[in-house]
Amino acid sequence: MLHTSAVQTTANTRSLLPLSITLTLLAFPLSARAADFGLKLEPGVAVPLTAPQSQRYGVGGGLTLKALFGLNKYLDIGPSVTLLQLPSAAAQAEPGAAWTFGAGLRLKRLHDAPGGFTLSPWAEADALYVRTGPLNRPGFAVAAGLAIPIGETRAFWIGPFARYLHIIQPERTGYDNHDAKLLSLGISLEVRPGRERAAVAAAEVRTVTQEVFSGPDRDKDGVADNVDRCPSVAGPMDSWGCPEYKKVVVKRDKLELKEKLYFAWNQATLEEASFPVLDEVVQALKDNPDFRVQVEGHSDSSGANDYNQALSEQRAATVLDYLVSHGIGKERLVSKGFSSSVPLDTNNTVAGRENNRRVEFVVYFNILNDGSTK
């Protein structure tokens, strides 16, 4: 009960308020999901309803802060903190002040109900600990209100509320033992995570220009010759009309090997590990009689340039001879050496130099000399 002999000054009450808020929030188990959490602030006017408070104090103000955790779509639970201050009716008397904290339940209309403009009436009840001056007393509060969403996401809600506070006064000698009853009226402000915006309000109309490949199809594989990389042999569109070779990829301007070629140490002699790769190159060239290729030999920058030039020419010629010996017309082939003039990688590392020692046909070949530097 608010009583002149049991009031606390405004300054002292304000100093206790942050502590009470902190203790309340820490004491409550934060187990609800973030999507079900909300905060509500209720500023308003406070009116004492019964004597002796109505005789000693005038109309004052109050502020309630509540944390809300959703148990389901219709029921919230959470702690609350309230500060009330009433001005004294006598000029020389001190104002009355009280603060409470506790926890309660709120029943509400579904906040995410379908439709545009949605009203959410609510009602709640709290069990409270009340302190006025040096007195500690139990109490309870009941409230009702109406929440109106602001914005499409319904993250912010506002509306009127009325809260009845009842402070229970146990029998105590020398004090007025009437229960204190107060009414608060004001505006409730609530914030919640809200719902996601609709990605698109209306169906988006887009015009897409699709490239259509048409024209002659010599190999009848369904891939027109103007885009078919192997127009003389059937193959799926996934490989641009070329057969799906295991070791060779047919590109628009080259044959790219999936495996490396191997030469003997510091020589232009092919090792047997290279034969399966070159056999598939032979097959690709037989499948595509229109292909003309240049076999190019490359080296790294180690050693003398004249030596590297000669070795790169010899290795390119060796690859050409292998293709000719397996049925590819020599008129379709030419070989050339480039020494180290066209590096693919740095010559400052072992791996880089190894990448630079290679043979290309309009094709990209990696050639590895087992442990060699030439």
Which residues have C-beta within 8 Å of that of residue 349, sequence separation ≥ 6?
none
Strand pairing report for 156-167 and 180-191: antiparallel
Helix (H, G, I), strand (E, B) or coil at 326: coil
* Residues 53-104 pLDDT 10s: 888 888 999 999 999 998 888 899 999 999 999 898 876 678 888 889 999 9
**CB atoms near residue 128 (< 10 Å):** 22
* Residues 94-109 pLDDT 10s: 888 888 999 999 999 8
Q: Which fold has domain 4-191?
A: Porin (2.40.160)
pTM over 0.95: no
Tokens 């191997």, residue?
Answer: 262
Burial class (CB in 10 A: 0-12, 13-18, 19+), 174: exposed
Domain ranges of the chain: 4-191, 245-369
Q: Which residues of the chain have pLDDT under 70?
A: 1-35, 91-92, 111-117, 173-176, 194-215, 217, 219-222, 225, 227-228, 232, 234-235, 237-241, 252, 356, 359-374
Q: Which two tokens stand for residue 240?
A: 């641009």
Q: How far is CA 42 from the centre of its chain?
A: 35
Q: Is the dihedral of CA 260, 247, 359, 253 positive or negative?
A: negative
Look at the chain and count its residues.
374
Instruction: Supply the angle between the helices 275-287 and 305-325 in degrees, to the nearest 10.
Output: 60
Query: 245-369 in CATH: which number?
Result: 3.30.1330.60
Contact 124, 104 (CB under 8 A): yes
Q: List 140's β-bridge partners, or say none.
A: 127, 166
